[in-house]
């Protein structure tokens, strides 16, 4: 696995940590809104947004994990296409985490859950 530095591995593992926290926060916020306000016309959009965040974060986490394992298994080096996929997955995971964290914060503020 010579083509991945410790720094790159740390970036991936940190992204996975952020995604796991995001999945938990989105699920907890979704449940709290549902329990306090129910599934109404007013809450439906935010509940759907939080579900979508969980699904996207789960997908990004899985993609990062699978690609990191693939790169580790290739010997002596991983094909450039696989490294390129991993780079794209990192960028997508960063965007997913950033957007998801902002949406969860906004939902908590909008529904006075802070």
pLDDT digits (tens, 9 = 90+) for 5-45: 899 999 999 999 999 999 999 999 999 999 999 999 999 99
| Residue boundaries of the structural domains of the chain | 6-110
| Measured distance CA(112)–CA(109) in Å, rounded | 5
Structure tokens given for 48: 């759907």
Structure tokens given for 12: 């991936």
| Measured distance CA(58)–CA(114) in Å, rounded | 24
pLDDT digits (tens, 9 = 90+) for 58-89: 999 999 999 999 999 988 888 999 999 999 99
- Tell me, which fold does domain 6-110 have in CATH? 1.20.5
| Measured distance CA(86)–CA(90) in Å, rounded | 6
Q: How far is CA 106 from the centre of its chain?
A: 17
| Measured distance CA(111)–CA(44) in Å, rounded | 13
């Amino acid at each position: 696995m010579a083509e991945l530095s410790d720094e790159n591995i740390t970036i991936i593992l940190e992204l996975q940590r952020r995604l796991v926290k995001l999945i938990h926060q989105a699920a907890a916020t979704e449940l709290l809104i549902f329990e306090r306000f129910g599934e109404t016309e007013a809450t439906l959009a935010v509940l759907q947004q939080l579900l979508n965040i969980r699904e996207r974060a789960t997908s990004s986490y899985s993609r990062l994990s699978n690609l990191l394992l693939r790169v580790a298994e290739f010997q002596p080096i991983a094909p450039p296409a696989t490294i390129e996929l991993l780079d794209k997955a990192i960028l997508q995971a960063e965007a997913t985490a950033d957007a998801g964290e902002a949406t969860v914060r906004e939902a908590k503020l909008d529904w006075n859950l802070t």
